[in-house]
Structure 1
């Protein structure tokens, strides 16, 4: 038998046996000490006090991908929940769309100020720990969004529409009679009190601060999480793992839509019984409930992320050696030296000189800028164009579009990992996707329900004249927009007062009106509605209902659903290719820093100006503004055509620039090494075969 280094057979003399036994014990001691170091570097746990053995089996790329992917699900839930409840917050606090864009910019402001520093400093330190602190910031941002409701409550307008309020004031029948007559034709109208409380600047400021804190979490998640996965797995597996991670993240919006639907279906004050239903334009849903739930969930995920090691066991640095009479015996373990701020300018210069990276980032900027109108104002778009409530639009639109995105991520990740397409085909596919996206945005310009037949509205010059010879003596001045519908003719009136209604009745939660004297005789065609005094009026003996009359829609919404799903399916299929370019176009040491650099430019040039630009475009299509105490609030009625044209044509023009830049990326990246690890293995195997042949 061949003797090994620690062979203890009887052929050894006693001195050799004692020497080998001594060396073996020394090796075990050193190995145990360094294993403790490895566990702190490569093991799961918190600090040095909580690192149980049963937890170490989770120190794998698959475990991190699962936790990080589920974290992405929760983060996406929060983002979509914010979008889903945005219009409700606008109505509750009287916030115009232009101000909404400024509120949303808080996220990007923190990314601009901090992304370079955070991604550079955290990129080569304990990335899971830094990421965990970022998640804690995201949780804190959710709790901040609860403060406006804590400070201001549901609002006097919402309380006035509850049974408890009516019962409380039932002792004063005269007050109720006056209150009831305020919305109808009556000369005895009291002065409207100025309600300053609903228009404070504090809620928008709190939302901005919340978004600023959220930006810290977004920066750390974007710049540290995915590079950590790429560094701890085979390069050929990265596309599939990214696809799975992005798919998990995409499931979040579906859940966010569901939570948004459930919360908005509850009245803003759950302890009260509303006298209106959720289809009423005055309905304010419980927008604030979801933030408590999401904040707690994010806080739990921050602890889970913090338990992962700085590097997973597969990639732990250092070599193990032992000394045996001058030979190696001790275990050496070295950690990479964290970057110093002196090296920051040189690292930034490397990124700025990288043409492929910069062009790829700017391509993404124009895609995001073009899509920011849909991202931020999707609910408003569906409400205006297809007259779906905020809750219903979330439930209908969300699942189909998000299923398409999940499918795109999973299929593209699988195809790229399995078939490893060359850069020419992978990046060329993004150009095809961009062209289809632009065509889709142009098509959306022509898809909508018909215009609402609002009496007195002239769609040609976008003016509204709701006072006529019939209702001039009804005292309708300064009334807020409270539309009522004459279903027989599909005519919508600005209010029951403008329709000349003299009586009202309650049918459950719905208010109905009767004895309406200002109904156009013979229900004149829509073309003549903009000329208020060109027809005779008559008294309508039927029932007038609250709310807009539904516009004929046909298959328009179904077309929107199918087209949007197809566009997002293709769009998600090209996402992984863009991410791989950012990873492979830079040195490994700059990978996280490049993600932070990309986030800085995207925030500065897309996320901040996008909502502001599209918010202003949407506001320019507004016909009827809410107003109180001389201040303009949110918009009640839009010109559908102008809204649709402003948003879609602008989006198509901006996205077209991104398509052109994608073509440049395809040219510059034609020789990019996307699967370098496999190529190195192929070279090694070829060299080994040549050596065997010799």
Structure 2
């Protein structure tokens, strides 16, 4: 056998023990890199899962959220070409480890807003401890005001700006900027390292396994999100509301401490791998059966003088550029779901943030894992020609567009909010009955009259005069502004003709649940099918990026793809869809005249804006996939690279050198 050694072997510095060398294999690296991807994906999804909670905590509108998320892409735009070009020919595991360390630091920064601002006065005021401290010596009027009851003697409140600050969004932007460094190094160096250190016929299967491990991460991220958001933002306090209350703020900050610690562990493990892994290849039949150690000369790292030439070489590669742009439009079309899926489920199906994460996340992501694994095994075993492999992506894209169009029609019924006219999207929560209750400046705190399934802006707007507590649940009574004729409710133009009555039953906190039937189940089934097919085409696109370029340009091509995707998809995507979602908002939170987060959306407008826009953008990606299929019809996907020829053999000391 002829043994080709890796440079220096496993370890760091002078720490390179013999027992560690047995882990210098593609499988070991794939396992560590895959598990690292799991943790990175956990962090990404945990951020998405806690996004709406952060919006409520710091009063951040969705448009601003899109700008905060752009920090990741900003750093990728600024650094991806340089990092992928410079790191591609150097010690890739070591550079990758530094990237993971940066990712860990970004998690610490995401914890910083809670460390600086705490849980917030609004969240604290909804706890048992706060009530016990402030109920003593309060007048009946003050208690009624604090509980949001109808009070003719309500006093004018001074403006309080404590919960609103530009610092939390800036910290999130900074964390995303630093995270982009780690993302760049991971995507541009990790997968090419696997491809360079394994047989080309095994690459699809190993990529499938790696992507599957990365996809398990989001499922775990959703679970962590559920567990953290099920705890109150300050776990040491006892909340007087439950998770279904729209004012509930979970412990969004807790998961970042765990994720930062996990990333630091993987940064150390990745750094232990050598620059190149040892390979074992059959000896030439002409050479006597003797073991030779072949030490190929280390390639010279690229200089920055060669950078423009290499970049020009990639930009002139039609197949590579079209393949990158097809991915751009797919990601741009899907960015609304990627960023706002938790909010989508909360609004359309009235699930809590915790329920959205637990129910939707693991089920859909399991379908993606199966798609990666099945496609990886099938491609490695049957080696479909480029025509069939890339043609499959076109079919997948068409099905995805049809799925996005179908999502436009899947939702629960609209919430019957008293004072909101869905026909012209006008609102008027004040009427002749509650005009004297002092409800003008109250925050949105919906209450539900189950009889008739009517939701009121607040207990005050329903004219409620009494409060009844039962543990975390509280109900309201003696509500005098209940419309007699419920059928005419949505028609604001005839508001003066309403007849009001006093309701002696109990009015509950929160929205009235809207009938859903099988809508949520249908959403899960359709989403699973779409994501299974979508993930099955991912490996084909990655192989095109690897095989359409010279081996020396492989990491650089990944860096170019990351740059263009960041610039044209990841940055504008969340901003575009955030603005579309904001346009469907009916009730905005405000403090001191400043607009905060949205409390109530027009479901139909939200759903239509997101899904139809996504379908239109994805259609462009499908067309470009058709062009990729044509240009790449003769691409050599599975050919093994020939090892360098031996020009001279020296048997002394059993070593053969070039």
- The alignment's TM-score, normalised by the length of structure 1, stands at 0.89
Among candidates 375, 378, 381, match of residue 418 of structure 1: 381
The question of whether the paired residues in 1 share the 8 Å contact of 2:345 and 2:351 is answered with: yes
* 1:501 partnered with 2:464: yes
The question of whether the paired residues in 1 share the 8 Å contact of 2:474 and 2:508 is answered with: yes
| Distance across 1 between alignment mates of 2:420 and 2:88 | 58
Could you say which structure has the larger radius of gyration?
1
Among candidates 293, 298, 307, match of residue 272 of structure 2: 307
Give the aligned partner of residue 404 of structure 2. 441
Give the aligned partner of residue 154 of structure 2. 189
* 1:208 partnered with 2:202: no
* 1:151 partnered with 2:116: yes
| Distance across 1 between alignment mates of 2:459 and 2:144 | 14
| Distance across 1 between alignment mates of 2:370 and 2:392 | 17
Give the aligned partner of residue 339 of structure 1. 302
Among candidates 175, 190, 211, match of residue 246 of structure 1: 211
User: Over the residues paired in the alignment, what is the CA RMSD in angstroms?
Assistant: 1.8
Q: Helix, strand or coil: the match of 2:79?
A: helix
Give the aligned partner of residue 610 of structure 2. 647
Give the aligned partner of residue 524 of structure 2. 561
Q: 1:140 to 1:481 in 2, by over 3 A?
A: same
* 1:295 partnered with 2:237: no
Give the aligned partner of residue 88 of structure 1. 53
Among candidates 367, 371, 381, match of residue 408 of structure 1: 371
Written as runs of structure 1 = structure 2, the 5 A alignment for 1:347-496 is: 347-496=310-459
Give the aligned partner of residue 59 of structure 1. 24
| Distance across 1 between alignment mates of 2:197 and 2:328 | 28
| Distance across 2 between alignment mates of 1:515 and 1:460 | 31
| Distance across 2 between alignment mates of 1:428 and 1:383 | 36
Unaligned runs of 5+ in 2: 285-291, 644-658
| Distance across 1 between alignment mates of 2:214 and 2:248 | 31
Q: Helix, strand or coil: the match of 1:198?
A: coil
The question of whether the paired residues in 2 share the 8 Å contact of 1:455 and 1:530 is answered with: no
Q: In the TM superposition, what is the alpha-carbon distance from 1:182 to its structure 2 partner?
A: 5.5
* 1:269 partnered with 2:238: no
Q: Helix, strand or coil: the match of 2:496?
A: coil
The question of whether the paired residues in 2 share the 8 Å contact of 1:457 and 1:530 is answered with: no
The question of whether the paired residues in 1 share the 8 Å contact of 2:209 and 2:373 is answered with: yes
The question of whether the paired residues in 2 share the 8 Å contact of 1:182 and 1:189 is answered with: no
The question of whether the paired residues in 2 share the 8 Å contact of 1:451 and 1:551 is answered with: yes
Q: In the TM superposition, what is the alpha-carbon distance from 1:551 to its structure 2 partner?
A: 0.4
Question: Residues 342-376 of structure 1, C-alpha deviation per residue, up to 9 Å, x if partnerless?
Answer: 00000000000000000000000000000000000
The question of whether the paired residues in 2 share the 8 Å contact of 1:281 and 1:547 is answered with: yes
| Distance across 2 between alignment mates of 1:531 and 1:336 | 81
Give the aligned partner of residue 636 of structure 2. 673
Written as runs of structure 1 = structure 2, the 5 A alignment for 1:655-666 is: 655-666=618-629
* 1:47 partnered with 2:47: no
* 1:235 partnered with 2:167: no
| Distance across 2 between alignment mates of 1:603 and 1:156 | 37
Q: In the TM superposition, what is the alpha-carbon distance from 1:172 to its structure 2 partner?
A: 1.9
Q: In the TM superposition, what is the alpha-carbon distance from 1:312 to its structure 2 partner?
A: 0.2
Among candidates 490, 500, 505, match of residue 537 of structure 1: 500
The question of whether the paired residues in 2 share the 8 Å contact of 1:457 and 1:465 is answered with: yes
Among candidates 232, 255, 270, match of residue 220 of structure 2: 255
Question: Residues 60-102 of structure 1, C-alpha deviation per residue, up to 9 Å, x if partnerless?
Answer: 0000000000000000000000000000000000000000000
Q: In the TM superposition, what is the alpha-carbon distance from 1:676 to its structure 2 partner?
A: 1.3
The question of whether the paired residues in 1 share the 8 Å contact of 2:5 and 2:279 is answered with: no
Q: In the TM superposition, what is the alpha-carbon distance from 1:166 to its structure 2 partner?
A: 1.4
| Distance across 2 between alignment mates of 1:175 and 1:112 | 59
Q: 1:665 to 1:177 in 2, by over 3 A?
A: same
Give the aligned partner of residue 323 of structure 1. none
Unaligned runs of 5+ in 1: 1-34, 320-328, 682-694
The question of whether the paired residues in 1 share the 8 Å contact of 2:72 and 2:180 is answered with: yes
Q: Helix, strand or coil: the match of 1:623?
A: strand
The question of whether the paired residues in 1 share the 8 Å contact of 2:475 and 2:507 is answered with: yes
Q: In the TM superposition, what is the alpha-carbon distance from 1:121 to its structure 2 partner?
A: 0.1
Written as runs of structure 1 = structure 2, the 5 A alignment for 1:590-609 is: 590-609=553-572
| Distance across 1 between alignment mates of 2:157 and 2:444 | 14
Q: Helix, strand or coil: the match of 1:511?
A: strand
The question of whether the paired residues in 1 share the 8 Å contact of 2:145 and 2:151 is answered with: no
| Distance across 2 between alignment mates of 1:333 and 1:671 | 32
- The alignment's TM-score, normalised by the length of structure 2, stands at 0.94
Give the aligned partner of residue 32 of structure 1. none
Give the aligned partner of residue 30 of structure 1. none
The question of whether the paired residues in 2 share the 8 Å contact of 1:483 and 1:494 is answered with: yes
| Distance across 2 between alignment mates of 1:182 and 1:407 | 50
Q: In the TM superposition, what is the alpha-carbon distance from 1:174 to its structure 2 partner?
A: 2.0
| Distance across 2 between alignment mates of 1:362 and 1:65 | 28
| Distance across 1 between alignment mates of 2:48 and 2:528 | 19
Q: In the TM superposition, what is the alpha-carbon distance from 1:296 to its structure 2 partner?
A: 0.3
Q: In the TM superposition, what is the alpha-carbon distance from 1:647 to its structure 2 partner?
A: 0.3
| Distance across 2 between alignment mates of 1:449 and 1:675 | 48
| Distance across 1 between alignment mates of 2:102 and 2:203 | 28
Q: 1:665 to 1:508 in 2, by over 3 A?
A: same
Q: Helix, strand or coil: the match of 1:191?
A: coil
Written as runs of structure 1 = structure 2, the 5 A alignment for 1:92-111 is: 92-111=57-76
Give the aligned partner of residue 37 of structure 2. 72
| Distance across 1 between alignment mates of 2:131 and 2:465 | 21
Q: In the TM superposition, what is the alpha-carbon distance from 1:171 to its structure 2 partner?
A: 2.6
| Distance across 1 between alignment mates of 2:63 and 2:542 | 32
Q: Paired residues, what number?
A: 632
Give the aligned partner of residue 26 of structure 1. none
| Distance across 1 between alignment mates of 2:600 and 2:63 | 16
Among candidates 135, 138, 142, match of residue 170 of structure 1: 135
| Distance across 1 between alignment mates of 2:347 and 2:493 | 20
Question: Residues 406-441 of structure 1, C-alpha deviation per residue, up to 9 Å, x if partnerless?
Answer: 000000000000000000000000000000000000
| Distance across 1 between alignment mates of 2:362 and 2:93 | 31
Q: Helix, strand or coil: the match of 1:284?
A: coil
Q: 1:530 to 1:312 in 2, by over 3 A?
A: farther
Question: Residues 511-553 of structure 1, C-alpha deviation per residue, up to 9 Å, x if partnerless?
Answer: 2111111101153355546743332110000000010000011
The question of whether the paired residues in 2 share the 8 Å contact of 1:465 and 1:530 is answered with: no
Q: Helix, strand or coil: the match of 1:519?
A: strand
| Distance across 2 between alignment mates of 1:563 and 1:332 | 53
| Distance across 1 between alignment mates of 2:505 and 2:261 | 52
| Distance across 1 between alignment mates of 2:112 and 2:267 | 22
Q: 1:114 to 1:330 in 2, by over 3 A?
A: closer
